């Protein structure tokens, strides 16, 4: 091209303009994709665990598995005080962990807003 156009001059007709809205990456699209992936993964794990679980959960399920043989008696779940206490402690532990995660997340958001750090969130914050 240089050999053919020696001596010709080029001039700029229109200067480049930056776009007002970035074309990619779209934060909302990324958030929606990861939300769908998270929900799908959670649902898949629940379905897989339910399909692999071979325990009997009720009288109707037992009668369905045994054909037309009726269930004569059922032994109720006997939960001791130790079992109740252990379950209560597990519930408190999960509540504490979830509370700590919430507090840390809220602190990160508030501190980033106060200090001017930029967090790329898919939705605007209400404050």
User: Given this model, what pLDDT does residue 9 score?
Assistant: 79
- What residue segments make up the domains of the chain, in order of their start? 27-65, 86-117
Q: Average pLDDT for residues 69-97, to the nearest whole number?
A: 92
Residues across the chain = 127
Rounded distance between C-alpha atoms, residue 109 and residue 114, angstroms:
9
Answer for the pair 122, 27: CB distance below 8 angstroms, yes or no. yes
pTM of the predicted structure, to 2 decimals? 0.45
Q: What is the pLDDT of residue 12?
A: 84
Residue 67, phi-psi category: left (phi > 0), alpha (psi -120 to 50), beta (remainder):
left
Identify the pLDDT of residue 127: 47
pLDDT in tens, 8-22: 778 888 888 888 877
């Amino acid at each position: 091209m240089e050999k053919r156009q020696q001596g010709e001059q080029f001039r700029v007709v229109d200067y480049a303009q930056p776009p007002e809205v970035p074309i990619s990456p779209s934060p909302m699209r990324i958030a929606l994709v990861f939300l769908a992936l998270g929900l799908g993964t959670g649902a898949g794990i629940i379905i897989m665990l339910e399909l692999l679980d071979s325990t009997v959960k009720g009288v109707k399920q037992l009668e369905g598995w045994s054909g037309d043989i009726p269930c004569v008696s059922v032994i109720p779940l006997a939960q001791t005080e130790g079992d109740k206490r252990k379950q209560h402690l597990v519930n408190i532990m999960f509540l504490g962990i979830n509370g700590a995660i919430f507090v840390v997340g809220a602190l990160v958001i508030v501190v980033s807003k106060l200090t001017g750090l930029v967090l790329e969130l898919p939705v605007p914050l209400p404050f």
